[in-house]
Structure 1
Amino acid sequence: MRVIVALTCVAALAACGGGRGASSTARLASGPIAQACLAADRSRASVPLCSCVQGVANVELSRRDRNRMVAFFDDPEVAHATKISDTEADDDFWRRYQAFVRSARRQCG
């Protein structure tokens, strides 16, 4: 299960490509998500990709949601626990996160 959750997080970023079609602001964004993306040392991680994902997150997610998402890189079990949680707050966050993933795929890929 841990591998599946890790792959889900990586797939969200890897599917974004290398920044094609993203605005220059999104491609040049920096922050905790971009740093975690690069630190995760995935084969498709790059400055343009991770910066684009950060830029989309800056627009689509609150600071609190962005900080929460960073934990997914450090421990994929956090993402899994959030996804299967039955609290309304976690369900709401997961819906926002999934909407972010769809937007990042469109804008960064």
Structure 2
Amino acid sequence: MQRPFASGPLQKACIASDRKARSRELCGCIQAVADQTLSGAQQRVAVSFYADPHRAQVIRQSDKASHEAFWQAYKNYGETAQRICG
């Protein structure tokens, strides 16, 4: 089965990262899933985690309603990306 592929901010951040598992195909797949599950603003927040992984923890633990809503969407994105791209 061929994985979906898209170009965008998460794909670019993934390719630029130092993660061993990164590849053009994997990074394009996670971008395609992001395009289906996250808004543009949510994708920009997710991209920031590549440069500042601690920010993900701060947002996850935040009591702000907007952070909680983001985290639920981000969690769904991660689970969907794992299933489709993993």
TM-score by length of 1: 0.75
Count how many residue pairs are aligned between Structure 1 and Structure 2: 86
- CA–CA distance in structure 2, aligned partners of residues 92 and 21 of structure 1: 31
Q: CA deviation at 1:85?
A: 0.5
Q: CA deviation at 1:21?
A: 5.0
Is 1:102 equivalent to 2:79 in the alignment?
yes
Q: What do residues 43-62 of structure 1 show as CA deviations (whole Å, max 9, x unaligned)?
A: 10000000000000001110
Q: Return 5+ residue gaps in structure 2 as ranges.
A: none
Q: Percent identity?
A: 37
Q: Return 5+ residue gaps in structure 1 as ranges.
A: 1-19
Q: CA deviation at 1:77?
A: 1.1
| 1:36 alignment partner, SS class | helix
Q: Any runs of at least 4 consecutive aligned residues in structure 1 with deviations exceeding 6 A, and if so which?
A: none
TM-score by length of 2: 0.94
Q: CA deviation at 1:38?
A: 1.1
Residue equivalent to 1:49:
26
Quick one: higher RCO (CA 8 Å, sep 6+), 1 or 2?
A: 1
Question: What RMSD, in angstroms, separates the aligned Cα atoms of the two structures?
Answer: 1.1
